[in-house]
Chains A and B, each alone.
Chain A
Amino acid sequence: MSNYKMCMIPAYPLENVQLLKDRVIFPYVCYRTFGESLRLVTKCTEDYPYLSYLEGVDLIPLPEDQPHMEAAVRYMSEHAEEIDLLFLFGARGEYMKLARTYKSLRPDGIIYLKLDTNIDWANAYPLHDSQFSIFLKDCDIISCEARRLQSFLYKKWQRPVEYIPNGVYYPLYPEAGSVCFEEKENMILTVGRLGTAQKNTLLLLYAYALAFLQLKEPWDLVMVGSVTPEFQSEYEEFCRRFPPLAPHIRLTGNITDKRTLHQYYKKAKIFALPSRGEGGSPNVFSEAAIFGCTVIATNVDAAPDMTDNGRVGRISLDTEDFDSFAKELAALCLNPDYLARNFHEMRSYMKEFFDYEHLAVRLQMLVQLQSLKRSHS
């Protein structure tokens, strides 16, 4: 089979913003690469203006008077024949019945499960539950978003788990094509929910202060995203304690306009990711990387993948070690040649290994192999 009828069903009703994130974008690129059709089956809870970016996709609204997954299972029992490849997102208990229903009606059909997991989730899967084990068996292809997790899951599940990172769909970033290193400024950028425990923003703030003392020329720190009240206080206290640094640090607040956000990526030379934990590589990493930012990250699961094991970025091993993060940060700021060279290296690396169009070709072959296996059995 060369053209697959595809279907993506989320575990919970889709939100508009999710239409341009991995759970929908990857199935969409697969559809563009080897699909005949793609239907998104969801209970609709809001308008979906981003659907206009997804040409050719059918949005199938589930009845409003039933719980989302119950309605999805009913839909599946009536339409399984029209689905050759089912995309699921997250190894969630909610999917168990849906997957079983599909497999019982379409034993020749393929289920692809994108795990969207992190180490906490991966540790918490109820493997002792027979229904959950059946669900995993029902999934023909399973992928996770970080190599470190892949290795962990191989040992835990003793079954193949593919590594397919969170990637980039380049047509959504037309400005990334025209970026050049000469337009960049001495700017360190971070994007995220500032001040949350997960994002560990304080590490960056104080590491920046430590690094600042070693720099030959000033660098600005720009922090984009919503700010927790605690972090706002910390930031104000920081500015009072270190007045010379205050003019170099900016909190922009949340930026919803993509074009404005992309301008920051265009200007920044360094993108900082001080998180305590991330599942795969976060979307903000991919965005920064395609704009040629050199990434400095803590040792989150995907850090070796994001930096090609430290080749196109830097990893600070301990998420609580201010000195280490500051040292790596200062080393980057003091090495303009590396940053200029890495601008190209990083962009090439992304294009070669994180481009969803490339990843879709990989998945296509895995799906074809599974189809062949199914037809033989």
Chain B
Amino acid sequence: MASLNDYLLVSGLLFAIGLAGVVLRRNIIIVFMCLELMLSAANLTLVAFSRFHPAPNGLPDYNGQMLVFFVITVAAAEVAVGLAIIVALYRARQTIHTDELTSLKG
């Protein structure tokens, strides 16, 4: 059976890939997906901790799993809002490439 460290390693990799995608990719949809990936990495960590830190009665610590549900809910809401923003952005600017969205440049 895989140990906690294995789970954490996978989760860290997922998070790093997500962060790399957020930082490096120019298409805002991909950036958005990478963001979801980072959330999933966090979820994986939470579930792993829940599994490997049982309560005194032998059951998993459900607090971690509950938090995951919250994260999924928030992520769903975020996707709804975020995609709407992207659609609106595309309508306004005719592009979703972050390189071309620099009107905040000082």
Indicate whether A and B interact: no
Footprint of B on A, CB under 8 Å? none
